[in-house]
Amino acid sequence: MTVSDAIERGKNLILMQEGRLFLWCPVVFAAGIGLYFSLRHEPNLIPACVSLALFSVLWGISWKHKDESALRHVLWILAGVVFLFNAGMVAAQVRAHMVYTPMLDKKIRVSDVSGTVDAIEIQEAGQGSRVILKDVSVNKLSAAETPRKVRLVIRKDEELSVGDKITVLAGLNPPSPPVSPGAFDFQRYAYFQGIGAVGFAYRAPDILSHSSSGTFFKSLQARMSARIQDVLDFPEAAFAMTLMTGQRSAITEDDRQAMRDAGLAHLLAISGMHVGMVAGALFFAARLLMALWPRMALYLPIKKIAALFALCGIVFYTFLVGANVPTQRALMMTGLVLIAIMADRSPFTLRIVVIAALVVLLISPDSLMSVSFQMSFAAVVALISFYDAVRDKWGALYAQRGFVHRAGLYVLGIIVTTIIAEVAIAPFALFHFQHHSVYGLLGNLMAVPVMAFVVMPSLVLAACLMPIGLDAPALYISGFGIDLMLKAAYWTSGLEGAVFNPPSFEPGALLMVVLGGVCLCFFAGPARLACLPFFMLGLIIAFTSRHPDILVSSTADLVAIRGADDKLVVSTRRKDKYAVENWLRMNGQDGEKPERWPSEGEMRGMDLRCDDAGCRGEIKGYKVAIAHEPSAWQEDCGWADIIISSVPVQGCGAQFVIDRFSVHREGAHSVYLDQAVKIETVEGQRGERIWAGY
């Protein structure tokens, strides 16, 4: 190949991407959001806004001249990239300040808490409800210190409904920070939900007034949930409430775990599948009913009318189930599909996904950090990219075929769709949950048809019939389908080796895999090969990720040490069980009972000896002492390289000291013992951010 041929091929390759530049807009926008959340200090908003305004002007100017030369075209693209990147940073920061809520900074053991019931999430049968209060008043806090919302677990809530004004004796805690550096930040999640404190009620609340001030949809949620419980028994009622009203907390942990292990957890998260099924049921039902009236079928565009009816239905459904991020995305995408049908346009393109992503990120930039956003968009982008590539061949296979052939293609479609979706979401599931369902394909083959043809249509029918009280038969049918799904989940999850639980890996690995996936889906032609270096680098980072040798909780009352078999051994199983569960999961020990080191004597397989005052020994060549009493650290200070103490330490000569003061200032610690000791802390990693109380 000559140089001129290579240049010509390069130009053609670039020209192939011309029409796909728009697809990269949410990627660049998301990069700006991601940078904002990765910073250790809150950035100054003024320079970011000035930069945004400047590059918006440059983008506008360069747009007018972008076709005059290749250089101007490149400058136009670069100006657009910088503009979108800055826009993402500004949007994230504006959102963070708009949702500001005071965060409780210390535990309140007992206090009268008053407020208006904003939402009720029914928990497992007999476990009461998780209630979110707004317009909160706490007698031990000033108005400036009081969070906008408080979440309480209330065991006795029989007469509670949305909009009620209540007062209750409760204990309050600050939203918990990450249990270790890099773990899930519930504090940040709660901040963006407006929740500044969580806790529990000591007794049944006193209802000050029954009010209709609650929103229509939240009140409707409560009434529909009550009706479902009247007709169905648990666990079928819990699943029906999840699918109809978006309230997932009533599902038992065993059922939830079985669904996860069977690869069916996506059936519990209201997303594109559910909204699409609701839209499909409404569209085909409306079109069928109109087709039964000859005059309407002949003189009116019943297909477009059915699409409009379905659009109104999914808007109602989205608000009913709470309009979370996956549902917003599903509403926008399905809505654009229905609008395209009404406009006689092709509805299945990546541009629909791109527009939906931009709108969601613009409205709620913090959703980028949520696993629901990441997994839902990854699955949809992968599916649309694949079916866009095989559309003509698939249509040819389906056209003018008999029932048996089409049924076989439907089963094949479920298999292919499941495989693509599983591959697309696997990196996120492994990164966030360290969990992958080995037999997810088998579970979906059994459960998805039941969901599509039995459960969702019957629930849509039940919702339509509830106002006239004729919904019971439809609910019974949905309960039958839910029972089949649960049986499939338990059978699949019970198979040997059903779950793969690897240890956690570094965020850089996920970022590289995501970039590789974006290149694969958004580039055209041979340029897709650009994905390979990203995939390879992501795998290298994942397989070479380091894991801490010692973990210390945010109170220093709990310590875990990596044993000779790479299993974590904990100091106690009684304290901070939430931290223990998360540490085990991140170490690839999800669901395992942790081993506890002995109160007296030597730890099995390790050079570590313990007594009532603490433990001491060598780990990877470093002398480590763990103290529970002042006498222990005083004795070990002259010997140990690393002192870990649940009591304050002063005047100690050890090189590294982690005590109650350390964890109070910096949160949980992770200690790496390699060529040199490396200590990471929660506060050191996430920095002084607004959701951390700074």
Residues sharing a CB contact under 8 Å with residue 59, sequence separation 6 or more, in sequence order = 76, 79, 80, 83
Half-sphere exposure of 306 (CA within 13 A, CB side): 21
Q: Which pLDDT score, from 0 to 100, does residue 651 have?
A: 74
DSSP letter at 620 equals T
Instruction: Please state the pTM of the whole predicted model.
Output: 0.80
Q: Which pLDDT score, from 0 to 100, does residue 562 have?
A: 85
For domain 108-214, give the fold: OB fold (Dihydrolipoamide Acetyltransferase, E2P) (2.40.50)
Are the CB atoms for 504 and 545 separated by under 8 Å? yes
Question: How many helical (H) and strand (E) elements, i.e. helices and strands, does the chain have?
Answer: 25, 20
Q: Which pLDDT score, from 0 to 100, does residue 522 have?
A: 84
Q: Rounded distance, CA 463 to CA 624, Å?
A: 62
Q: Is the dihedral of CA 432, 433, 438, 440 positive or negative?
A: negative
Task: Say if residue 280 is exposed, middle or buried (CB neighbours under 10 Å; 0-12, 13-18, 19+).
Answer: middle
Q: Which of 275, 553, 555, 554 minimizes the C-alpha distance to 568?
A: 553
Q: Which two tokens stand for residue 486?
A: 């649960």
Q: Which pLDDT score, from 0 to 100, does residue 319 have?
A: 76
Q: Rounded distance, CA 481 to CA 447, Å?
A: 9
Q: Is the peptide bond before 235 cis (omega within 30 degrees of 0)?
A: yes
Q: Rounded distance, CA 653 to CA 650, Å?
A: 9
The residue written with tokens 């570094």 in the block is: 506
The residue written with tokens 């492994």 in the block is: 430
Q: Which pLDDT score, from 0 to 100, does residue 71 have?
A: 58
The 3-state DSSP class for residue 112 equals strand
Q: What order of strands is seen across the sheet that includes strand 550-552?
A: 595-596, 568-570, 559-562, 550-552, 669-673, 677-681
Q: Rounded distance, CA 386 to CA 399, Å?
A: 19
Please, what's the largest Cα pairwise distance for the chain? 95
Q: Which two tokens stand for residue 199?
A: 């806790």
What are φ and ψ of residue 5, in 5° steps? -65, -40
Q: Which of 185, 341, 200 minimizes the C-alpha distance to 691?
A: 185
DSSP letter at 651 equals S
Q: Which pLDDT score, from 0 to 100, does residue 66 have?
A: 54
First and final C-alpha spacing in the chain? 61
Q: Which pLDDT score, from 0 to 100, does residue 106 have?
A: 84
Residue 315 belongs to what H/E stretch? Answer: helix 302-320
> Angle at CA 211, nearest 5°, toward 206 and 217?
115
DSSP letter at 348 equals -
Q: Is 298 left (phi over 0), alpha (psi -120 to 50) or beta?
A: alpha
Cβ density class 497-530: b for 16+ within 10 Å, e for less: ebbebeebbbeebbbbbbbbbbbbbbbeeebeee
The 3-state DSSP class for residue 441 equals helix
**Cα-to-chain-centroid distance, residue 465:** 33
Q: Rounded distance, CA 241 to CA 251, Å?
A: 9
Q: Which pLDDT score, from 0 to 100, does residue 33 have?
A: 92
Q: Which amino acid, residue 209?
A: S
Q: Which amino acid, residue 235?
A: P
Residue ranges in the chain whose pLDDT is less than 70: 1-19, 52, 55-76, 122-127, 157-159, 211-215, 248-249, 269-274, 322-326, 328-329, 344-348, 394-407, 409-411, 414, 601, 603-605, 631-633, 694
Q: Which pLDDT score, from 0 to 100, does residue 30 have?
A: 92
Cα–Cα distances (Å) from 694 to 39, 41, 122, 686, 687, in that order, read: 14, 9, 34, 12, 9
Q: Which pLDDT score, from 0 to 100, does residue 620 have?
A: 82
Are the CB atoms for 173 and 197 separated by under 8 Å? yes
Domain ranges of the chain: 18-98, 108-214, 227-500, 507-543, 550-692
DSSP for 289-304, please give it: HHHTSHHHHHHS-HHH
Q: Which two tokens stand for residue 330?
A: 């599903």
Q: What share of the chain is helix, strand, coil (3-state, %, to 5)?
A: 55, 15, 30
Q: Rounded distance, CA 600 to CA 459, Å?
A: 59
The residue written with tokens 């966030």 in the block is: 432
